[in-house]
Amino acid sequence: MLTEQPLCPECQREGRIAPAVDVDHIDNDPSNNERSNLVGLCHSHHSAKTRTWMNGGQRMVRGCDADGLPLDPAHHWRSREP
């Protein structure tokens, strides 16, 4: 699979070139190994897709503001009282 698609298509959309090193199941079903359900991704994009899927389809916001608080409004640190 990776020999057929050696570059990450997500990186290519972003104007970068990176090798596809992980095989992703497009429908997130690891038992569905139909060729049409598989795509090669770089490790970073595969991890981001998996995190999004595990987070109920919502992309995680990464990083911190100037006070060191996470930018993600759903982060548990944001719910703490000062």
CB 40 within 8 A of CB 8: yes
Round to whole Å and give the CA distance between 55 and 78: 17
Sequence letter at residue 64? C
Other CB atoms within 10 A of residue 78 CB: 11
pLDDT per position as a tens digit, 45-55: 999 898 888 77
Query: Which residues on neighbouring strands pair with residue 23, listed in sequence order?
Result: 40
Domain boundaries, the chain: 9-79
pLDDT per position as a tens digit, 4-61: 999 999 999 999 999 999 999 999 999 999 999 999 999 999 998 988 887 776 666 6
**C-alpha of 81 from chain center:** 31
Round to whole Å and give the CA distance between 47 and 70: 19
